[in-house]
Amino acid sequence: MQLHKRDVVEAATALLDNYGIADLSMRRLARELAVSPGALYWHFANKQQLLGAVADRILQPINNQAGLPPEPGHWRESIARTCEQLREALLSYTDGAELVSASFAAGQSRAMSNVLTQLGAAAAEAGVASSHAELAARSVIYYVLGFTADEQSRMQWDAAGADVTHTIWTENPSARFAFGLSLLVDGIATHSRADA
């Protein structure tokens, strides 16, 4: 049976979701696929490339909707929609935020590049200077990745039976996420007015 790149990505994504990022190794993946570890390197030069492909697989639902510029005057809605979709995609897989964050930092995820472009276009539509639009987009992405990584860690601690209750963490996580995102969006609006 010939091993295809998509089979490797699907198996790696399943391992991630079942066991977490700590147990996603090339050796374990090769064992899962019943091939030698060297066979994986035919498709991916290194683990970082594989993780980038898994990040793209995780973000496939959001990437299918990416690429459309924000409607004039609707940059706030564009940022909110993109960030909500990103958070949902990350929460769909065990350690999704951690894996996508690492791939984004290494520049290995095409899907995250598309998200960055989309958010940068929304920041530009808001009136942020072109020299700062990508920085604004990155700041928003860092918020989503950090918030979601923290959220996933807390869910794992809860599943393990640890007592990590704190008043703020008993509140609706979606409401907390929306509040933080609104602070960032308001900051983008303020910054764009200052640039003008």
pLDDT tens profile 43-84:
999 999 999 999 999 999 887 665 566 677 789 999 999 999
- Say yes or no: do domains 5-56 and 66-195 share a fold: no
pLDDT band, very low/low/confident/very high, at 159 (cuts 50, 70, 90): low
CATH number of 66-195: 1.10.357.10
Q: Does domain 5-56 have CATH number 1.10.10.60?
A: yes
- When mean pLDDT is compared across 60-64, 115-119, 135-139, the lowest value belongs to 60-64
Q: H or E stretch including 152? A: helix 130-159
| Crossing angle for the helix pair 96-105 and 75-91, to the nearest 10 degrees | 120
Q: Are 54 and 131 in contact (CB under 8 A)?
A: no
Is the pLDDT at 196 greater than 70, yes or no?
no
Distance CA 83, CA 184 (A): 11
Give the start-to-end residue ranges of the domains of the chain.
5-56, 66-195
Rg (CA), the chain: 19
Q: Which of 48, 149, 66 is nearest to 107 (CA)?
A: 48
pLDDT band, very low/low/confident/very high, at 193 (cuts 50, 70, 90): low
